[in-house]
């Protein structure tokens, strides 16, 4: 992933995405640089519109990140409803019990 991040940093800072610049960023970050991976990255990005790829990825990630939060909220709401039902049942049972004493 660090290779992709290096390319994204270069793109964001409007620097050329080339072997030398990617290598510099990776070395500055303390990564062990594999020249063949750098070359493969540069070749793979040759025909890619990085801005479009970043936007597409961000848009795809947003709903995926929101799903667990929505699921957790739904589960919490369900638990609250169950607690309310339990309380209502307990109150009804107590009322019935009192009625039996006086009935």
pLDDT of the residue at 92: 66
Comparing 70 with 37, which gets the higher pLDDT?
37
Burial of residue 6 (number of CB atoms within 10 Å: 0-12, 13-18, 19+):
buried
- Taking the C-alpha atoms of residue 46 and residue 103, their distance in angstroms, rounded to an integer, is 87
Residue pLDDT, tens place only, 32-65: 999 999 999 999 998 888 888 878 877 776 666 6
91 has a pLDDT exceeding 60: yes
Q: How many domains does the chain have?
A: 1
Q: What is the predicted pLDDT for the residue at 17? A: 93
The model carries a pTM of 0.55
Q: Which two tokens stand for residue 14?
A: 């409007």
Which is higher by pLDDT, 43 or 103?
43
Residues 6+ apart with CB under 8 A from 41: 3, 4, 7, 22
Give the domain extent around 87: 2-102
Query: So what's the pLDDT on residue 79?
Result: 81
pLDDT confidence bin for 86, thresholds 50/70/90: confident
> What is the CATH classification number for the domain harbouring 57?
1.10.10.1410
């Amino acid at each position: 992933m660090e290779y992709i991040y290096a390319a994204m940093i270069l793109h964001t800072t409007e620097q050329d995405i080339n072997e030398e610049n990617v290598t510099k960023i990776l070395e500055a970050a303390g990564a062990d640089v594999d020249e063949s991976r750098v070359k493969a990255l540069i070749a793979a990005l040759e025909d890619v519109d990085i801005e479009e790829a970043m936007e597409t990825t961000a848009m795809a990630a947003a709903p995926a990140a929101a799903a667990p939060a929505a699921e957790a909220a739904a589960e919490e709401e369900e638990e609250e409803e169950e607690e309310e039902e339990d309380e209502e049942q307990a109150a009804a049972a107590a009322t019935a019990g009192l009625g039996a004493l006086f009935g």
